[in-house]
């Protein structure tokens, strides 16, 4: 295992991943739609939130442990579902799941993963993981996918609600990214500059979409995948489908992609166990608010009826603490995990989790807190955060 002690922040991992991962796949992970305004706001809005430093408090016996949908977690963080993870690093989903298992946090596998549900189950043993579901027009495929998730020992299902249609991501268009990726001359030249990545991919047979190829009707290989993908994301998805999926699944259900208090109330009414305040990492509706800006209103509206989590823009343990203070029982990390994976594989994911945990623990202590369960908005600097008096919050953006 490489010595990563000099890797001190998520930004260090991002810079290394940018050097090691082919451009089309790095850009896929580290970009947003259209102007990327919402993508940038996700991280920037966290930085505008101030913290109150407290002193002369007994800081022994600190704990970041909590639960997410009843599952014990080492900190209020789970790894978010991210498509094409196995293209950031060979066997990427397996490596991420193992790192999460060993650290004591949940891992979520995407429908659009490279490694399959069965791959993850084989490498994580009896340790449960979560599965994220996209709703396709082929409902028979969806039923079988849900059944496969249950057989693979998934303990919760994340249903993504904000990808009925695909947002336009300009970098993906310019890079020619598709499913499967197109081997253009520009991309092949770039691949030649990433020998470490190429050797890793040559050493694995997992280079396709393991949850789809061989399982969806008429999709026996990569050549058939592109047309199937273009046709299958279902724009008709509605709350009735959520109820159907909840009954078919029968276990813990998490609804991902909520950005409005009215939708949050509808989500709570479905009987789901948690919702995730998420704008899909700024990859769908450019111009939507950041996730952290949307969080307080949603938490206030439904926080007593359903667990409220959030993702988008989390690059540090301080961000996790701020989200917790503003009403998120849990958080999810996508890019922060992918940077570590692309940079150093499983060791990089572990290092990302170590960094976030240490920052969370130390910042909590500086704020005079020893138990994550007792953290609330009182740790935040008045007027610096969403949910503060509106004029003060607007003024903080103008400053």
First and final C-alpha spacing in the chain: 45
Q: Please pick, among 89, 280, 357, 385, the residue that the annotation labels catalytic.
A: 280
Measured CA to CA, the distance from residue 80 to residue 237 in angstroms comes to 22
Please give the angle made by the CA atoms of 281, 282 and 284, to the nearest 5 degrees. Answer: 110
List the structure tokens of 286.
């450019």
Q: Which residues pair with 35 in a beta bridge?
A: none
Q: Which residues of 16-35 are buried (b: 16+ CB within 10 A; e: fewer)?
A: bbbebbbbbbbbbbbbbbbe
Q: β-pairing, 252-258 with 274-277?
A: parallel
Q: CA–CA distance from 341 to each of 86, 338, 394 (Å)?
A: 9, 5, 37
Q: Is 360 exposed, middle or buried (0-12, 13-18, 19+ CB in 10 A)?
A: buried
Q: Catalytic site residue 280?
A: yes
Judge whether 107 and 71 are in contact, CB under 8 Å.
Answer: no
CB atoms within 10 A of CB 368: 16
Residue ranges with strand state E in 64-169: 66-68, 71-73, 77-79, 108-109, 129-133, 154-160
Residues with active-site annotation: 280
């Amino acid at each position: 295992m490489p010595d990563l002690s000099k890797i001190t922040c998520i930004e260090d991992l991002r810079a290394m991943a940018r050097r090691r991962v082919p451009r089309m796949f790095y850009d896929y992970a580290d970009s947003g739609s259209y102007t990327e305004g919402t993508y940038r706001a996700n991280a920037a809005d966290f930085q505008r939130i101030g913290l109150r430093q407290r002193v002369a408090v007994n800081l022994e016996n600190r704990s970041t442990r909590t639960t997410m949908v009843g599952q014990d977690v080492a900190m209020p963080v789970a790894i978010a579902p991210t498509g094409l993870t196995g293209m950031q690093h060979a066997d990427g989903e397996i490596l991420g799941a193992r790192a999460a298992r060993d650290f004591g946090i949940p891992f979520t596998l995407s429908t659009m993963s490279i490694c399959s549900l069965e791959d993850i189950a084989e490498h994580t043993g009896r340790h449960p993981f979560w599965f994220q579901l996209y709703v396709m027009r082929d409902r028979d495929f969806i039923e079988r996918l849900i059944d496969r998730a249950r057989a693979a020992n998934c303990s919760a299902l994340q249903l993504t609600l904000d990808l009925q249609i695909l947002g336009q991501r300009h970098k993906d268009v310019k890079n020619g990214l598709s499913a499967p990726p197109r081997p253009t001359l520009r991309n092949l030249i770039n691949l030649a500059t990433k020998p470490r990545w190429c050797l890793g991919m040559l050493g694995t047979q997992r280079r396709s979409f393991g949850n789809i190829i061989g399982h969806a009707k008429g999709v026996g290989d990569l050549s058939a995948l592109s047309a199937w993908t273009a046709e299958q994301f279902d724009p008709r998805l509605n709350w009735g489908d959520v109820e159907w999926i909840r009954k078919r699944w029968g276990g813990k259900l998490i609804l991902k992609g909520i950005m409005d208090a009215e939708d949050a109330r509808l989500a709570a009414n479905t009987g789901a166990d948690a919702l995730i305040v998420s704008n899909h990492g700024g990859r769908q509706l450019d111009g939507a608010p950041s996730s952290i800006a949307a969080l307080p209103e949603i938490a206030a509206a439904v926080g007593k009826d359903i667990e409220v989590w959030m993702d988008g823009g989390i690059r540090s343990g301080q961000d996790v603490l701020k989200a917790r203070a503003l009403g998120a029982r849990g958080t999810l990390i996508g890019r922060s995990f992918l940077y570590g994976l692309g940079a150093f594989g499983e060791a990089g994911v572990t290092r990302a989790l170590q960094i976030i945990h240490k920052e969370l623990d130390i910042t909590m202590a500086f704020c005079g807190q020893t138990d994550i369960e007792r953290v609330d908005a009182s740790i935040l600097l008045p007027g610096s955060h969403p949910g503060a008096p509106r004029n003060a919050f607007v003024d903080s953006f103008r400053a």
